[in-house]
């Protein structure tokens, strides 16, 4: 069942009518159908617009009955992402909220939606999530202070907080 479902999802990637132009999904190694990578384009009208973000996706042996493990490879400063590991806090990725109706493509769409609409109630990155309150600062204001513009370069280029090594010539970087 697992192989059939993942093979079906892999075949759908070859059909341009079923793919999302802002999401590129691929097998990391064609010999291992359980390990995937994705590249997401930052959603429009968000602090992540024009950024490119790489994800690592590991499907368990009982997928789709259990959710995949998804993490950011590209460093990203976001309330629901642990900066050091890329771990994502997203309800649909929890076993009690997961449903086999979700696909890897729909998981990537949910991660993209999370970039636009962070969940302040469950921050993994407390430095970014704690001030995320309408009474304090909205996310775009926080990121305007903490995030460099997108780096040019390879497809894994993304957005980095200023406390991390910055590859751009941003005058605000420390």
Contact 154, 111 (CB under 8 A): no
Measured from the Cβ of residue 103, the count of other Cβ atoms closer than 10 Å reads: 18
Taken as a whole, the chain contains a residue count of 174
Measured distance CA(150)–CA(11) in Å, rounded: 32
Measured distance CA(130)–CA(124) in Å, rounded: 10
Measured distance CA(143)–CA(109) in Å, rounded: 22
Confidence (pTM): 0.75
Measured distance CA(136)–CA(149) in Å, rounded: 23
Indicate which residues carry an active-site annotation: 89
For each of the domains in the chain, give its residue range(s) and CATH number, in order of start. 2-146 (3.10.110.10)
Q: What is the pLDDT along the chain (174 residues), one digit of tens a residue?
A: 667 899 999 999 888 888 889 999 999 998 999 999 999 999 998 888 888 999 999 999 999 999 999 999 998 888 888 888 999 999 999 999 999 999 999 999 999 999 998 887 766 555 554 444 454 445 554 454 344 444 444 444 444 444 444 443 333 333
Q: Indicate the burial class of 63 (C-beta count within 10 angstroms; 0-12, 13-18, 19 or more).
A: buried
């Amino acid at each position: 069942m697992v192989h059939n479902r993942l093979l079906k999802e892999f075949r759908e990637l070859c059909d341009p009518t079923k793919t999302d132009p802002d999401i590129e999904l691929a097998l990391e190694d064609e010999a291992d159908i359980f390990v995937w990578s994705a590249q997401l384009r930052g959603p429009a009208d968000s602090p992540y617009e024009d950024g490119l973000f790489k994800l690592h996706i590991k499907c368990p042996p009982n997928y789709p009955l259990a959710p995949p493990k998804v993490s950011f490879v590209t460093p990203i400063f976001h309330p629901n992402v642990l900066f050091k590991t890329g771990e994502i806090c997203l309800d649909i990725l929890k076993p009690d909220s997961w449903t086999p109706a979700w696909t890897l493509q729909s998981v990537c769409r949910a991660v993209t939606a999370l970039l636009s609409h962070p969940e302040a109630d469950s921050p993994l990155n407390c430095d970014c999530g704690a001030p995320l309150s309408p009474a304090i600062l909205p996310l775009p204001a926080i990121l305007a202070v903490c995030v460099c513009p997108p780096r040019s370069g390879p497809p894994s280029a993304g957005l980095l907080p200023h406390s991390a090594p910055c590859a751009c010539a941003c005058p605000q970087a420390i």
